[in-house]
Every structure is written in structure tokens, then in C-alpha cells.
Amino acid sequence: MLAQRVASATIGVPVIVALIWAGGGWYAGAFCLIVWLAAGEFQAAHRGRWAPLSLAAAGLAAALPAGALIGPDWVLWFAVGGAIIPLVWVTMRGDPETGFNDWLWSTGGVAYVGLLGAHVVLLRELDSGRDLVYLTVFGTFAVDTAAYFVGRSLGRRKLAPSVSPGKTVEGTIGGLAGGFAMVVALNYALGLRLEPALIVPLAALLPLAAVLGDLAESMIKRGMRVKDAGHLIPGHGGFLDRLDSLLFTFPVVYYFATWAVP
């Protein structure tokens, strides 16, 4: 498992770095594809297969990051469509017994994967967006990596056994500490130079968001009775399994950058 994770990272990280550097249409297009796959995994895990409504909901989720490239207002417009179109779909199907539940899952996937995922593009479009995206991605990866190794070596007490049996208190503390250190280091390495009054709160918030995002996806998978959302990434599961923490950390950094950073 560890060897597969390392191999996947060896291939994936250079691609991620290049796409972030490029920005624009290449970056947004690649992420729209990832969101489409992740949202499809979400829908298929619930239904056990890719159904027509699953494909439509995944497409609606992928449209939100595309809208973010045009502007923040378009994210709202596309999100409204993500709620209305599935409702019209199940209404026209004329099956109230399954329609309501299908609509909830469809709009839930659009909101969870698409709306939160749109912030991946929104953040890149800000001034200093490239460096903020690097900080978010590698700060989040540091949380996951530190939690994994500290948990394996020192983990004793379960953090949330009913939600994620493998996570420990010790591993979580290690992840929080590792993420904090990485965010502070990247602030200087990338030349952002946010003053201590700004970088310290951000370095505390990002790891906490990463942990909560990981737990949230674990809760969703528990509810759907699946171990992994997919199997497309060796050693990591599916694309949704890789996005779990990022879906929480990107909105945190985006709103921190737009509201707190002068």
C-alpha cells in the first residue's frame, strides 16, 4: 500500500505542480475533469452504478469550477442550476418514492464536490493565487502525510472510531503540527511573506480544515457502506478520496485571503 502511494505521488505531484503553474484554462479544465470523476464516484457509490442521473449530476458538479474561471458570480448561477435541473429530472420521471432521495443525493454531490471544488479555481484566480494554491495543496498533503506516519508509529487512542476507525488522536495531533509547520515554511519559501498575525491563524485553520474534510468524507463513505469512493488511483482509492481534505482547505484559504489579507 505504501509503495503504491509513493508511486502515485511520484507521478501525480509533478503534474499537479505544472498545472498550478500554468493556471488558466489548463488548470481549470484538468480540475473540471477531476471533479467530474469524483462527483461520479460519489453518485455511483450511492447507487452502485453509473446511472443517467449520476452522469448528469457529475456534469453539473464539474460545471461549477468552469464557472469559477469566468467569475465568482457564475458559480452561484451554476449552483442554482445544480439544484433545479435534477429536481426537474426526477419530477418528470414521475416516481416520488425514489425521486426525492435521488434529488437529495444529486444536489448533495453537486454542493459537496462541485461547489466546494469551485474554490480550487477561485483561489488560483486571485492575486498571488498561484502561490496560495501551492501553499494550500502542499500544506494539506503535509497534514495527511504527518498524520499517516505519526499514527502508524505512535497511534493508540482512536479519534472517531464510528466514523474512521483507523484515525488516532496521536496521528491527528501529528498531522495538525506537520500542517502548521508546512504552512509557515511555505509562506516564506514561496515569497508570500504574510506577517505573523496572518500566517499563524492560517497555519492553524488549514490543518484543522484538512482533518475535518477527511472525517467528513469518511462519514459519507460509512453511510454508503464503501471503503473507498473509487479505485482509479493506486494506493489512494478514487479521486474523491484524494479531494476530501482539499474540499475543505481550499474554501478556508480562499475566504481567508479575500477577507483577512489586505
Indicate whether 262 pLDDT > 80: no
Residue 5: its pLDDT value, please? 57
Is the sign of the CA dihedral 163, 164, 165, 169 positive or negative? negative
Indicate whether 4 pLDDT > 70: no
Over residues 141-153, mean pLDDT: 94
Domain boundaries, the chain: 33-125, 128-262
Over residues 178-193, mean pLDDT: 96
Residue 101: its pLDDT value, please? 87
Question: Within its chain, how far is the Cα of 99 from the centroid?
Answer: 27
Per residue in 61-118, pLDDT tens? 999 999 999 999 999 999 999 999 999 999 998 888 888 988 998 999 999 999 999 9
Per residue in 236-255, pLDDT tens? 567 888 899 999 999 999 99
